[in-house]
Amino acid sequence: MGTPSERNTDYFLALDALLLRLRNRGLEKIRIHIVSSNAIKIWKPEDRIIEIDGNLDISLKVEDLKDLRGKISKAQQEKKEDPTTKGGSPTKRILIEANLSEGAWKEVVFGVNPTAVPVSEGDLEIDLAEFLSEDGVVAKEKVIRAVALRRGQPKFRKKLLTAYKCSCAVTGTLFSPILEAAHIIPYMGAKTNHVTNGILLRADIHTLFDLGLLGINQDYKVVVSSSMKETEYEAYNGRRIILPENEAEWPSLAALKSRPLPSRH
């Protein structure tokens, strides 16, 4: 399950992602209820709603969503049975109340883009040799892509979630809302959506992978750029990634070789 620090990081990343997706859907306000087992025992439902700046309705019309998330975490921390005691958890189990349909909520939670380009099952059965085309190799230079594009292939992501059993290949994070389908050779159409051209990565790891700050070598080991030696990501350097049980679904070594590894000097 990871250390408390790792779990907190995953919690905050997930909450950041949810707040952003809710705002992107045009929602102006939400309510947050604390629904931990202890909270349900000691407080009435109306007393489990957290307040931000004195308001039960939390506005999403703010410039800095991370600042808002910080306020939400602080409000959770301060919500305790005995307010005079120190400490308190900033990562309690919560329920977000918003005016969304069940289908819209699924899209928010799983990161599905409602305007995504459909991909047929046949597209996903293309032979590995086809996506390692000349165009695909040239496309490796186009590694900085919008999150919408990365997450805009739901069937490709579903294949990777199944292959990797909903676990980030680098960190082992088991929280699917923040796991993304990373292309090794950048997306250039359906032929690059072959499962062996993908790795399931946590959102922040995916970004580092796309920026060339984190790579995977021919031994399936993580290589972290020396520019990040003073960060928490350095701990992953040299660690072998978590691979699918089915070897046929392992990342293509040929595709990985097409990406320059970050410098360790």
What pLDDT, on a 0 to 100 scale, did the predictor assign at position 113? Answer: 47
What pLDDT, on a 0 to 100 scale, did the predictor assign at position 256? Answer: 95
Record the pTM. Answer: 0.47
Under DSSP, is residue 201 helix (H, G, I), strand (E, B) or coil?
strand
Domain ranges of the chain: 4-110, 122-257
Query: pLDDT-derived band of residue 112, with 50, 70 and 90 as boundaries?
Result: low
For residue range 158-185, list pLDDT tens digits in order: 999 999 999 999 999 999 889 999 999 9
pLDDT at 127 over 80: no
Mean pLDDT of 27-53: 89
pLDDT at 94 over 70: yes
Sign of CA dihedral 62, 63, 66, 67: negative
- Cα(163)–Cα(139) distance, integer angstroms: 25
Provide the 8-state DSSP code for 246: S
- Cα(183)–Cα(185) distance, integer angstroms: 6
Under DSSP, is residue 96 helix (H, G, I), strand (E, B) or coil?
strand
pLDDT at 141 over 90: no
What pLDDT, on a 0 to 100 scale, did the predictor assign at position 51? Answer: 93
For residue range 184-224, list pLDDT tens digits in order: 998 777 888 899 999 999 999 998 998 889 999 999 999 99
